[in-house]
Amino acid sequence: MPILPTIPDLYRCIEDMWPILIPVRPRGHTHSDELELVRRRQRLQHLLLFESKRDGVLDGFSLVQVLSSKALHILYLMAHKKRVTIGTELCRDVFNYANSKGYAAVSVATQSKQPAVEFYRHFGQKFEHVYGKYKESDGYEGQSEVVTFRWILKSNQEEPGFTSGVPGTLNEVDEEVIEKICKKATEIMEIGRTPRCAVIVMHSGKKHLMAFSPKEEPRLDFLQDHELTYCIGSLSKILVATAAIILIDQMRPTLGKEKLQIAWHDTILKHLGVQLRSEGSEPTISQLLDHTSGIPSLNDFIFGPDGTVLLSMGSFVSMVEKISQEVNSRTPTKDYGWRYNNGGFILAGLLIKTYSGCTLEEYLERTILEPLGMKNTFVSEKDYKKRRSSKKAGAHVVSAAGHPRTITEPSYFDDTALAATGIYSCTNDLAIFFEALLSDENTKSPLSVNTAIRLFHPRHVFDDEHNSSCSYGGLSTSIGSIRLGSYSLNRTIDPSNTYTMPMPNDNIKVLYNAGTVRGFASSFYILPDHKTFIIALSNATGLVDVSDHISRLILQELSIHRSLESQDEYPSAEVDVVAIAECGADKMRQEMSATVQSRRCEKLSLPAIKPGLYISQFQSLLVKHCARNTLTVSIVGDRGKSSRKYRLIQVSDDQATLGPKDGEDSTVFGVDIFHDWADVTMEIKRDCSGIITSLVRRTHDMEVSYVLESSQKTSLRTLFRG
């Protein structure tokens, strides 16, 4: 049986959490009012009134109800000042405290305004069986505004007019929920025009398989839909982090090798000889995996604007040392902060290769894929090429007009990018992996409970109200956090996508990650305390990331609390994910149009850009003449590879930019056009006679200067010496 809180319990709750609060005559009533008189006027004999002793962090007000089947206790917190979010913060504290004590139920305030007079009047009418008949003459004077209420009942205790639910628990995925998900997911697919999205939901020990396409009926429980392979982008990181944990846990001292079991806090410099800071302590292995190593995002050096891998591993190591030291030299040495980056995982992959005695792909196969039976996950180009095209989802880009176009699948199987973004997998294989990760049974799985603990453990803690942190496996936060969805392009394109789901189940822990490469978008949400997860893989980039919208739609359906009363009387807390997807698609159309329209050439008075090879230390620009006296440019690396050709537009005498060629649109750019390649403008440098000598691009608070070679016959290999 649940514990029913008493008045002394609640007073102890206040004393424990907020010692600066004292029971006083509340503001909004005359100072001659005594506490008992206030209680009598409110017709609530269990009203507890507190006020802050001083101005400070708790300045604000809140209403929290603690409900049982026998009595209703209302805690009314008031303060000298009010500010946004204080009420929510106080509510959350009470909710968590009461939940930890096993109290029967707690209701937490929402954000919908409602005068307190109406609130108390409603209570007087709704719970006459508790208080006796309410009279208008009792009066409800001078209250502040409070907020609409919701109920969360623990241990399925029923109260009139409300469903039962447990704080921190989830709804079941029944036929009604699946029907609602399918309807809205299909609408999202139509908005995004993405050809496919495969989704697996694991909840209450059952897997639900869903596959969506625009204007088609959802396909439920067809395994073949979930064995199609997609490039999973940054979801690759959780597999690589798991491999690193296994390696460090299992390594034993061997001849000529360091013992890695206690090496999490050893430096990268010690193990790989890579120096990332010009002064101060060097980053550790642990910091590589939680993005606090001080490595900036370097995608504009690793990849071209279209996502082509440009650097070999050797050149990457030289580049990451030089740029990290330069950027970090301008940062306080004791705090490099948190910077999401691919470079740390590339170095982690190099570490695995160095100490495992085999390639990263061989180690992943041996320790994770083969033992778990993940037969449709690919870490090598050779194996992936053998796969029939009918077993591949295929990559697509969607134009501003909503037309999906098939493109060549990105290949990140080389040793540079594989660890960060290069793995191909399917929803079924990822479900196998997550099931093994969340299992607490003693099986032959290579993923032990200790593996999951290390993977999910908070590493870098963010300063927010949700105890958010970065773990090796992704972002760890609670279900009401604004950080959910933050790795998706939806958030980058349209900041209004920073919606939260303001539900009282906010104490539910969530592990989140997302991955986007040109032609594919993916996301996962893991609720480890409930052994629940959502995996969504989609095969297009363009208007919206349908994988994240659909994942969050399902997350909402799992966690939202539904009132049995009419929606007019009790406003729904549901977020309209479909409407948000529509807004995001409109915003992306505007961005796509701006990408093309803003790059127009003006009349020039000085000599124009010459064709030739413009060289910087880690990449070069190959400029060529094209038809109708226009120029094209490719970004060239040291691997014999270059990006696709773009139009080089000289917009003025001192500025040039990249744009789509005639007949093309903005989909020729990869996803980093919204991140590291967002600024493709270059400053034109000239000598004293006005002749162009170099092009300068600004990135990471530094300049990259591409100097025109006098001879185009120079070998590209010379670009990377030294």
Q: What's residue 251's pLDDT?
A: 64
pLDDT, residue 596, reads 61
pLDDT at residue 240 in the model:
96
* pLDDT for residue 595: 65
SS3 235: helix
27 and 144 in contact (C-beta within 8 Å)?
Answer: yes
Burial 353-365 (b: 16+ CB within 10 A, else e): bebbeebbbebbb
Domain shared by 393 and 279, yes or no: yes
Q: Are residues 12 and 116 in the same domain?
A: yes
Residue 656 and residue 559 share a domain: no
Per-residue pLDDT at 349: 94
Pair 58, 148 in one domain: yes
The predicted pLDDT at position 15 comes to 58
Angle subtended by helix axes 7-17 and 86-101, to nearest 10: 120
CA torsion sign, 124 to 125 to 127 to 129?
positive
Domain that holds residue 652: 612-720
The β-bridge relationship of strands 197-203 and 230-231 is unpaired
Residue at 165 is within a domain? no
- SS3 category, 516: strand
For residue 170, being part of any structural domain is answered with no
Q: Cα–Cα distances in Å, from 3 out to 98, 155, 169? A: 10, 10, 18
Q: Are 78 and 113 in contact (CB under 8 A)?
A: no
* Contacts of residue 386, Cβ cutoff 8 Å, sequence gap at least 6: none
Question: Do 451 and 578 fall into the same domain?
Answer: yes
- Tokens encoding 258: 């360091």
- In-domain check, residue 469: yes
The number of folded domains in the chain is 3
Give the amino acid at 646.
Y
pLDDT of residue 568: 40
Residues 153, 151: Cα–Cα separation, whole Å:
6
- Are residues 573 and 561 in contact, defined by beta-carbon separation less than 8 angstroms? yes
Residue 44: Cβ-neighbour burial (10 angstroms; 0-12, 13-18, 19+): buried
pLDDT for the residue numbered 362 = 96
3-state secondary structure of 378: strand
Nearest-angstrom CA–CA distance, 19 and 9: 15
Do 391 and 361 belong to one domain? yes
Cα-based torsion angle of the residue sequence 54, 57, 59, 60 in order, rounded to the nearest 10 degrees: -160
- Express each pLDDT in 527-545 by its tens digit: 988 889 999 999 999 999 9
* 424, amino acid identity: Y
Task: Give domain status of residue 474, yes or no.
Answer: yes
Q: State which residues of the chain have pLDDT below 50.
A: 1-2, 24-47, 49, 51-72, 74, 76-83, 105, 107-167, 252-257, 260-261, 504-505, 562-572, 711-722
CB 480 within 8 A of CB 502: yes
- Domain check: are 432 and 555 in the same one? yes
In a domain, 490, yes or no: yes
List the CATH number of the domain containing 254.
3.40.710.10
- What is the sign of the dihedral through the CA atoms of 30, 36, 40 and 45? positive
Asked if the structure places residue 387 within a domain, the reply is yes
Same domain (yes/no): 470, 345: yes
Residue 563 lies in a domain: yes
Residues 125, 222: one domain? no
> Does residue 497 share a domain with residue 448?
yes
Please report where in the chains the tokens 């073949």 appear, as a residue. 224
Domain match, 359 and 423 both = yes
Calculate ∠ Cα 420-425-431, nearest 5°. Answer: 110
- At 115, give phi and psi (nearest 5°): -60, 140
Q: Report the residue count for the chain.
A: 722
Using CA atoms of 328, 332, 338, 341 in order, give the dihedral in degrees to the nearest 10: 0
* Angle (nearest 5°) at CA 335 between 332 and 339: 110
- Alpha-carbon dihedral 475, 428, 203, 245, rounded to 10 degrees: -40
Contact between 560 and 534 under an 8 Å Cβ cutoff? The reply is no
- Indicate if 134 and 191 belong to the same structural domain: no
Q: What per-residue string of b and e applies to 450-475 under the rule 16 or more CB within 10 Å gives b?
A: ebbebbbeebbebeeebebbbbbbbb
Q: For residue 169, is it within any domain?
A: no
Full 3-state SS string of 241-255: HHHHHHHHHHCCCCC
User: CA dihedral defined by 16, 461, 486, 497, rounded to 10 degrees?
Assistant: 30
Instruction: Write the CATH number for 680.
Output: 2.40.128.50
Supply 170's token pair: 């989830």
Closest CA relative to residue 647, chosen from 673, 667, 625: 625
What H or E segment, with its residue span, contains residue 203?
strand 197-203
Range list of β-strands (E), 518-664 = 520-527, 532-538, 612-615, 620-626, 630-636, 646-652, 655-659
How much is the pLDDT for 493? 82
Q: Over the stretch 544-555, which tens digit does the pLDDT of each residue have?
A: 999 999 999 999
| Helices of type H across 496-608 | 546-559, 577-597
Helix (H, G, I), strand (E, B) or coil at 257: coil
What's the confidence (pLDDT) of residue 603? 73
- As a whole number of angstroms, the distance between CA 505 and CA 169 comes to 7
Q: Which amino acid is at 679?
A: D
pLDDT for res 37: 43
